[in-house]
Amino acid sequence: MTTAAESLKPRRGELRPAWEEKPSVLGRLGKGTILTLVVLAVLVPLWVVVVTSLSSTETINRAGGYVFLPREFNASAYVVIFSGGQVTDAVLVSTLVTVIGTALSLSVTVLAAYGLSRTGSLGHRPILFYFLLTFLIYPGMIPSYLVVTGLGLKDNLLALVLPAAVSAFNLVVLRAFFMSIPAELLDSARIDGAGEWRILLRIVLPLSRAVTAVVGLFYAVGYWNTFFNAVLYIDRNDLQPVQRVLQQFILAGQVPTNAGAGAVVHLPGIGYTAPPNLAIKMAVVVVTVVPALIVYPFVQRHFTKGVIVGAVKG
Amino acid sequence: MSFGARLRRDWPLILMCVPAMLLLAVFHYLPALGNVIAFQDYNPFAGDSPLQAFLSSEWIGFGNFQYLFETPAFWESVRNTLGITAFQLVFYFPIPIMLAMLLNSILSPRIRSFVQSVVYLPHFFSWVLVVSLFQMMLGGAGLVAQTARDAGFTAPDFMTDPDTFYFLITSQALWKDAGWGMIVFLAALAAIDPSLYEAAAADGAGRWRRLWHITLPGLRPVIVLLLILRLGDALNVGFEQFYLQREAVGRDAAEVLDTYVYYQGIGVQQWGVGAAAGLFKALVGLLLILGANKVAHRLGEQGIYSKS
C-alpha cells in the first residue's frame, strides 16, 4: 500500500512530475494529432515550394503544377534568376538595406538602451518617456509620406531604412537586459577608471550577446521584409526590394523580366534547359525565405529570454 | 548631488540617447505633428516643399472630417475593420493560449523545442510571402485546386471569395503568428509554482480541476493584458495583408481603415481627407487603449501600466 505522500515522490527516469497522471491513450493520440497537423501546416507549403523550385519542366508538367515528391535536382530556375535582371537587383537591394539598416538600428538602439539603463541618471525619466510615447502616438501614413518625400528620399534606399530605424520595443528589450547586469560589475569597472563607452563596449555588450542577437534578428527581418515603404517611396524598378518583386510575380502574376519564360540557360553538365515559369516563381519565393531560415536556428534558442525579458519588464 | 555634478557624470549617457531621439523626432514625432493637415485643404503644389505647401494651404477646420463622416465608403472601412477585430477576437485570440497549454503538457523536451522552432518560424515571414503561400496553396491555380482537379472535383477559390474573407485572413494570421503568440503564455505557464499543482493533487484534484483552478488563474493577468492590447488595437488590423488582397477580394470586404487612408491620401491625392481618416483612427485607438486599461484596473488586474 502506498500513502499519498509516497506516491507524490518523483519516479526515477520519468519526466512526469509525480502528481501528474499519465494521459489516456485517446488523450495522447489527440495531442499527437493536433501537434502533427500544426507542424505540417507550416512545413508542407514550404516543402512544396522548395521542391517545385528545384524541378524540371517535365516533372512539373507531369505533376500538373506543384510538385510534392522530388524526382531530380534541377537548379536551373536559380541560375535564371541570379543571372542578372530584376530578381538579382532586388536581392542586392534587399541585402544592402538589411545590412546597413540593421547595423544602424542596432548601434543606435544599443546606445540609447545603455544610456537609459541607469535609473538615477540625469534626464532618465523624460528621455525614457520620449521613447515610450511612440507606443501611444502614431505618426500617420500621410504625414509620414509627406515628410519622407519632403526630405527628398523618394527613390532613395534610405527611405526604406531611416523611418524604421528605431523601434521602442527593441529598445525596451535591450534596456531591460542591460539593467539586469549586476551594478557591482559596472561600479568596479568605473573605479578602475573605465568611462561609459568602455563599459558599454567591454563589459555590457559581451555579456548581452544573446539578447543583442535577438534584437538584431528582429531588425534584420524587418528590413528584409520591407514591403510597404517600398510601395510608398520606391518607383524605380532597379531599386525594388525582394518583397515587392515577390508580390509582382506571385500575386500580380507577372513574369520575371529579362530572364523570364522561355529563357534558355546553359548549365554545365546538363545541357540546355528552359526552366519553367512555375519553377522560377517558386525560386523567387525561396530566395525571400532563405535568409530568415539561415539566421533563425542560431538565434532561435534565445527568443524566449529576449522577448520575455522585454515583455515582462517593459 | 547638484545638477552640474550630475551633468558632468551623466553626459555620456545622455549623448548616447541622442541619435535614436533625433531619428524618432524626424520620422515619428514630426509626422505625428504633421497630422494637423487633417484640418487643412492641403495642396502639395501650394509651395516648393511640403513645409511651404503646409504654410500656404488653407485651414478648413473640421471640413475633412465632415466629408469623411458623410462618406459611406469611410464607414464601410470602419465596419470592416471592427468586424475583423471582433472575428479575430473569437477565432484567433484563444488559439495561442490553447496551443501553449497543449505544448506545455508535452513532457518530452525534444518534441517541445522542435514544435516551438517550427511554429515560431512563420512570424518571420513577410505578409507578401504569407499571402503568396496561401495563394499557392488555396488559390484558383493552387495546390488544393490542383489536387481536387486530379480527383475530379472543383475546389472553390478561397483567395477571391469575399464571403469567406474573414476566415481567409484569420487563417493567414493564425498561420503566421499563432505560434509566436504562444511565447508569452508559455512563459506565464513556466512561472506557475509547481508546488501548487502538487498540493492540489495531494488534495485529490484531477487534471481538469488543476487546469481550471491553477493553470487558468495563472494565465489570467497575461490574458487580460493581451486582451487590452488587442482592444486598444481594434482599429489596427494590419495594413499589408489587406493592401495585398484588396484587389482580388474586392473593396467591399477588404477595405479597412488603413487601406482607406492610403487610397484616399496617396491614391487619389486627397491629402487632408487621408490624414483626417488616419487621425480619427489614431485618436479612437488611443481612447480605446486607455479605456480598456481603465476597465482592467476596475477588475483588479494590472493592465499595461500600473496605477501608482
Listed residues A42, A73, A104: the one ending a domain: A73
> How many helices and strands in chain A, by DSSP H and E?
17, 2
B109-152 per-position pLDDT tens digit:
889 889 998 999 999 999 999 999 999 888 887 888 888 888 88
CB contact under 8 A, A131 and B24: yes
- Any idea which residue has 487632408 for its cell? B272
Distance CA A267, CA A270 (A): 5
Our CA-based measurement puts residue A39 at a distance from the nearest CA of chain B, in whole angstroms, of: 6
Give residue for cell 541585402: A95
Q: Are both A50 and A171 inside the same structural domain? A: no
- Contacts B26 to A, Cβ<8 Å: 147, 151, 162
Residue A225 covered by a domain: yes
pLDDT (mean) for A70-92: 88
- Tell me, yes or no, whether A118 lies in a domain: yes
Q: Are A69 and A215 within one domain?
A: no
| Cell of residue A168, nine digits | 521602442
Looking at A73, A103, A138, the residue that finishes a domain is A73
Does residue A97 form part of some domain? Answer: yes
Residues A236, A305 within the same domain = yes
Q: Are residues A96 and A119 in the same domain?
A: yes
- In the predicted model, what is the mean pLDDT of chain A? 84
- A61 and A181 co-located in one domain: no
Residues 251-290 of A with CB under 8 A from B: 251, 285, 288-289
Task: Give pLDDT, residue B307.
Answer: 44
Q: CB of B287 within 8 Å of any CB in chain A?
A: no
A159 within some domain = yes
pLDDT digits (tens, 9 = 90+) for B67-118: 999 999 999 999 999 999 999 999 999 999 999 999 998 888 889 889 998 9
pLDDT in tens, A34-66: 999 999 999 999 999 999 999 888 888 888 888
pLDDT tens profile A173-223: 899 889 988 888 888 888 888 889 999 999 999 999 888 998 999 999 999
ipTM of the complex: 0.89
pLDDT digits (tens, 9 = 90+) for A90-141: 999 999 999 999 999 999 999 999 999 988 888 899 999 999 999 888 888 9
Query: What is this structure's pTM?
Result: 0.88
The domain of A268 spans 84-309
pLDDT for the residue A271: 39
Q: How many CA atoms lie within 13 A of B160 on its CB side?
A: 11
d(CA A309, CA A173): 6
Q: Residue B277, SS3?
A: helix
Q: How many helices (H) and strands (E) are present in chain B, helices listed first?
A: 17, 2
Count of beta carbons in the 10 Å neighbourhood of residue A196: 22
Mean pLDDT of the residues in chain B: 89
* Residue-wise burial string across A2-16, b where 16 or more C-beta atoms lie within 10 A, e elsewhere: eeeeeeeeeeeeeee
| pLDDT at residue A270 is higher than 60 | no
Number of domain units in chain A: 2
Residue A44 falls inside a structural domain = yes
- Which 8-state DSSP code applies to residue A91? H
B164-197 pLDDT, tens digit each: 999 999 999 999 999 999 988 998 998 898 889 8
Task: State which H helix or E strand residue A265 sits in.
Answer: strand A265-267
Contact B39, B61 (CB under 8 A): yes
Q: How far apart are CA A152 and CA A111, in angstroms?
A: 28
Of A300 and B36, the structure prediction assigns the larger pLDDT to B36
pLDDT at B299 over 80: no
Whether A203 and A267 map to the same domain: the answer is yes
Q: Which chain B residues touch A8 with a CB distance below 8 Å?
A: 198, 201-202
For residues A200 and A234, membership in a common domain is answered with yes
pLDDT, one tens digit per residue, over A22-37 is: 778 888 899 999 999 9
In a domain, A302, yes or no: yes
**Could you say which of A5, A200, A228 has the minimum Cβ distance to residue B240?**
A228
Whether residue A249 lies inside any domain: the answer is: yes
pLDDT above 90 covers a percentage of chain B that reads 48
Is A56 in the same domain as A118? no
A65 and A124 fall within a common domain: no
| Chain A residues touching B136 at Cβ < 8 A | 45, 48-49, 66, 250, 285
Q: How confident is the model at residue B56 (pLDDT cuts 50, 70, 90)?
A: confident
Q: Do A146 and A65 belong to one domain?
A: no
Provide, for chain B, the percentages of residues in helix, strand and coil under a 3-state DSSP scheme, each rounded to the nearest 5: 80, 0, 20
B40: which strand partners? B59
Model confidence pLDDT, tens digit, residues B147-173: 888 888 888 888 888 889 999 999 999
In a domain, A130, yes or no: yes
Grid cell, residue A183, equals: 551594478
Do A177 and A278 have their domain in common? yes
pLDDT of residue A84: 82
**Mean pLDDT (whole number) for A159-168:** 95
User: Cα–Cα distances in Å, from A181 out to A107, A134, A175, A199, B163?
Assistant: 19, 26, 10, 12, 54
| Co-location of A164 and A42 in the same domain | no
Mean pLDDT of all residues in A259-286 = 60
Among A49, A73, A97, where does a domain finish?
A: A73
Report the alpha-carbon distance of residue A146 to residue B35 in Å, rounded: 10
Q: Which of B187, B169, B172, B280 is nearest to B225 (CA)?
A: B187
CATH number at residue A198: 1.10.3720.10
Give the tens place of pLDDT for each residue, B238-271.
899 999 999 888 888 899 999 999 999 988 989 9
